[in-house]
Structure 1
Amino acid sequence: MTGAEMGVSPQRRALVVGLLLSVAAIAFEAIAVVTAMPAAADDLGNLDLYAWAFTAMVIGQLFAIVAAGRASDRFGPRAPLVVGFIVFAFGLVLAGAAPSMAVLVLGRFVQGLGGGTMNLAVMVVVARLFAGHARAVLMTWMSVAWMLPAFVGPVVAAWLATTFSWHWVFFSVLPLMALGGGLILGPLLRAELAPVPREADRTHGDVRVLASGLLVAVGAALLQLAGQQPGIVWVAVVGLGALVVGLPVLLPAGYRPGGSGLAATVNVRALVTGAFFGAETFLTLMLVRAEHLDLRDAGLVLTIGSIGWTAGSWLQSRRWLQLRRDRIITVGAAATALGLAAVALAAWLPGQLLWAVMVGWVIGGFGMGLQVASTSLVVMELSPPSDLGHNTSALQVGEALGSSVVAGLAGTIFVLLNADQNRAFGTLFVAMVAVAVIGLVFSLRIGVVRNHSVDNISTSR
């Protein structure tokens, strides 16, 4: 697709390419780590920290998203994007050089700080510089940039881990980050991204918002810790208290748990994405330990599943798709739940239904491709310019919190039932299906949201 068709001026093409490369770099790291973590766990030991290697990044994202959203509203998205680049690169170096699982978890946390800042700033840049169909198409290309590494990432990660070591899975991302950053910097400085004046400061003072972000991040960490150490109930109580105090400040104005519009959109993103991420966290481990695949073949299963996500991302921006945005989200949530159900069935019958894992992962990925892009577009559609950073932050906070808590739930189930691995894998995947179904129910509460990808076509269906 040409820049003209996307609505991208020649002056902004380098910016778009740089943003896409940066998204691809983060995506490669995310998918490659899923593939390489079994090798890292074998090398470093301490399997009890396995889930933390994933959720530590998400917990870092929680605070970073809040801080970046506030900074983007106050000062524009330039500075958050640059800071995110630097911090994410440092996290790659720290994780790549990790001599122990604890240091690897710390490196992943730092990556979360950088990646969360980058992701939020990228979404604000897209929302500020592009509109209508061009925005929807660019979101498709963002999804493609996220998913393309999934086709090569698992195989490349397996090759790096077996030929050299798992450390190089992290180091290999640095050149792509450098290239993307080099393309972005010049156009970013010239773009019209000044802060938008607010009519009223409805998101509270900076200190309160940042403190709330910290409370939510700490609360998510404490809940996971309590889940894996059932004897320390007080930790769970403190974690829940931190979430109860901190979370309301970070959500869209007027948020109610059972509300419609933005509230329901945030709920869907948190639950459905959380369920998929929780399943993905343990999918490679299940394929290696229960299905007895090697890292390369397990990576290929992830690659095959990426076809679905790419197809869903492409489909949601088609002009001929005569569905409202809210209904696209519902279809996506239903497909994700169905795909995870197929994986759960295979987990209970190890060695018999590998094909169901592959088919289920394609279907689940298809649903995610529809849902992730569409929930972002709904937030852009329903947010006034002055609240765009805060509401985008709320959506991503919901996603990060959902991913952290649900992956933590999966980790808790695995630790508690690890004596019987088949039972552990089967139970945790069933739990992920249940979470996705709850997200599907919330999708019915979003309400009517037009699909601006269509061109003078009715979307009343």
Structure 2
Amino acid sequence: MDGTKPRNRPLVLASVMLAMFLAAIEATIVSTAMPSIVADLGNFRLYSWVFSAYLLTNAATVLLFGRLADVLGRKPIFLIGISLFLIGAILSALAPTMSVLIVARLIQGLGAGALMPMATTIVGDIYSKEERAKIQGYLSSVWGISAVTGPLLGGFFVDVLSWPYVFWMNIPLGLLAFIGIMVFFKEEVESKKRSIDVVGSVWIILAISSLLIILVEGGGRLPWLSIEVSLLISLSTISFVAFVFHERKIEEPMLPLHLWSIRSIRFANLTSFTTGMILIGVSSYLPAFVQGVMERSATVAGFTLTTMSIGWPVASTLAGRLLLRIGYRRTSIMGGVSLIIGAIIFSFLSPNHGPLFAASGSLFIGIGMGLTSTSFIVSIQNAVDWKSRGIATASNMFMRTIGSALGAALLGGLLNSRLETVIQQSELSGTFDVNATNRLLREEDRESLGERAAEVLQEGLSSGLHMVYIGLLVLASVSFLFILQLPKKED
């Protein structure tokens, strides 16, 4: 029920957009700063966990917070979310080690899991159906602005100030959003008894987190045939099966499984899962290649990501027009082709090609993401009635976030495994390990390695990232095959 006075709505909207900006900018700004963070804190092996931890708690709680908001109201969940996000940001800025940073990112991800659904839900509460189309444009612009400014701000903070400012910048903006919602957003919560699927959340967290550990550490610190890996595989499998059985039998599940029987939703969600892996593969590891292999600055690394960030919102706007002319399936196919072109460019990436070549690959990936994500939302919302539209849309967001979390782990595992192999096959074995790669990411540390050690580590990083980009090409091809399964007949 809307209890907000009309004169307060612009202030509530501004607060919501500010919170969305913080959550949206988090991925790209941290990606650009990560090479400097890991150069400072060390422990390169944990590089991918900084992303996986944030995405894991984000994905595992986004649906739960959505359900809690129906029971307790939007305001308390929003305030809890932004508080957790800011606590995580403070701990991240103060982190003395990578392990502490990962714990801080887990907390920050919890906050983001509440912020994103609450922002869109509050807007839906205070604006009429006729007004929402215009307001949705404002919200979309937040993603565009954050996508473009994130890499540039990250590069600026690293080159001019220091990496903790990437996290400190959240504090004043977050406090403004907190005060805005606290003071100006008034709501009346109906006292209606609703069940909350906490058990489902526990099962999915267990399933995904144990799988993440296998993907990141398997073949490295944990041998594939070890008891630990066997136990983790068993825990992940049992938890996933228990989640499916639990979701089938309860009245108000966290993720209604009947939605998967609808062809357009099933293949849109599967594609979002694989494109989520592609997205994290580009945003997480391209800065490491530009700084560690190409030996360029954090600002240049930020530029190579910015092209993806520009391509996405532009393609999303274009998709809105294409959908009316050629339909969501053909628009999605165009997006799938763009993803493959971008992945092919990355598969040929080498130090000799330079940052512009890398930026062109990012641009095509961004265009592909913009065309497909917009098409999927429209096709999903056309496939269900009003009562199921919210959870159906949330399921797509959930699948992309889970894909990003698993992608960070899987691709990080590939990179670590290849680095380890190159080091072991060289004369540096026993002197250096994977964590020595940290020193490639800062000029003064790189020079202290010595010419031969730097050469071997760069070769390992380059070939490891080449494997990551081959993985992106495989994922782009799978995504295209899923897109072709979307129904030809449209509503």
Please tell me the TM-score bracket, short chain as reference: 0.7 to 0.9
Matched ranges for 1:263-302 at <5 A:
263-302=266-305
**Cα offset, 1:33, TM superposition:** 0.6
Among 196, 200, 205, the alignment partner of 1:209 is 200
Among 451, 468, 471, the alignment partner of 1:431 is 471
Q: What is the CA deviation profile of residues 97-149 of structure 1, one whole-angstrom value per residue up to 9, with x for unaligned ones?
A: 10111011111111111111111222334455567785455444333212313
Distance 1:222 1:298 in 2: 28
Matched ranges for 1:312-327 at <5 A:
312-318=315-321, 321-327=324-330
Partner of 2:87: 90
**Cα offset, 1:398, TM superposition:** 1.1
Residue 252 to residue 178, structure 1, CA distance change in 2 (3 Å) = same
**Cα offset, 1:385, TM superposition:** 4.4
Partner of 1:223: 214
Task: Confirm whether residue 262 of structure 1 aligns to residue 255 of structure 2.
Answer: no
Partner of 1:109: 106
Structure 2 spans left out of the alignment, 5+ residues: 1-5, 248-253, 423-459
Task: Check conservation: 1:128, 1:193, Cα contact below 8 A.
Answer: no
Matched ranges for 1:20-419 at <5 A:
20-127=17-124, 135=132, 138-186=135-183, 188-190=185-187, 206-227=197-218, 228=220, 229-231=222-224, 232=226, 233-234=229-230, 235-246=232-243, 249=247, 250-256=254-260, 260-318=263-321, 321-346=324-349, 349-352=350-353, 354-418=355-419, 419=422
**Cα offset, 1:14, TM superposition:** 2.6
Distance 2:321 2:294 in 1: 38
Deviates further, 132-141 or 297-306: 132-141
Task: Check conservation: 2:17, 2:119, Cα contact below 8 A.
Answer: no
Distance 1:19 1:57 in 2: 21
TM-score (norm 1): 0.84
Q: What is the CA deviation profile of residues 60-101 of structure 1, one whole-angstrom value per residue up to 9, with x for unaligned ones?
A: 112221321321344443332222111111110110110111
Task: Check conservation: 1:62, 1:116, Cα contact below 8 A.
Answer: yes
Deviates further, 245-254 or 93-102: 245-254
Q: Read off the aligned partner of 2:156 and give its amino acid letter.
A: W
**Cα offset, 1:395, TM superposition:** 2.2
Task: Check conservation: 1:77, 1:121, Cα contact below 8 A.
Answer: yes
What is the total number of aligned residue pairs between the two structures? 435
Q: What is the CA deviation profile of residues 274-309 of structure 1, one whole-angstrom value per residue up to 9, with x for unaligned ones?
A: 212122211100111122211111112222332101
Distance 2:278 2:346 in 1: 12
Partner of 2:445: none
Residue 70 to residue 427, structure 1, CA distance change in 2 (3 Å) = same
Task: Check conservation: 1:340, 1:360, Cα contact below 8 A.
Answer: yes
Task: Check conservation: 1:65, 1:397, Cα contact below 8 A.
Answer: yes
Among 480, 486, 491, the alignment partner of 1:440 is 480
Larger helix proportion of the pair? 2
Among 448, 458, 462, the alignment partner of 1:422 is 462
Q: Read off the aligned partner of 1:222 and give its amino acid letter.
A: I
Distance 2:127 2:379 in 1: 15
**Cα offset, 1:11, TM superposition:** 5.0
TM-score (norm 2): 0.79
Distance 2:204 2:18 in 1: 28
Residue 77 to residue 296, structure 1, CA distance change in 2 (3 Å) = same
**Cα offset, 1:321, TM superposition:** 4.7
Task: Check conservation: 1:226, 1:236, Cα contact below 8 A.
Answer: no
Distance 1:277 1:131 in 2: 35
Task: Check conservation: 1:62, 1:213, Cα contact below 8 A.
Answer: no
**Cα offset, 1:383, TM superposition:** 4.2
Distance 1:335 1:315 in 2: 14
Distance 2:9 2:126 in 1: 9
Q: Read off the aligned partner of 1:263 and give its amino acid letter.
A: R
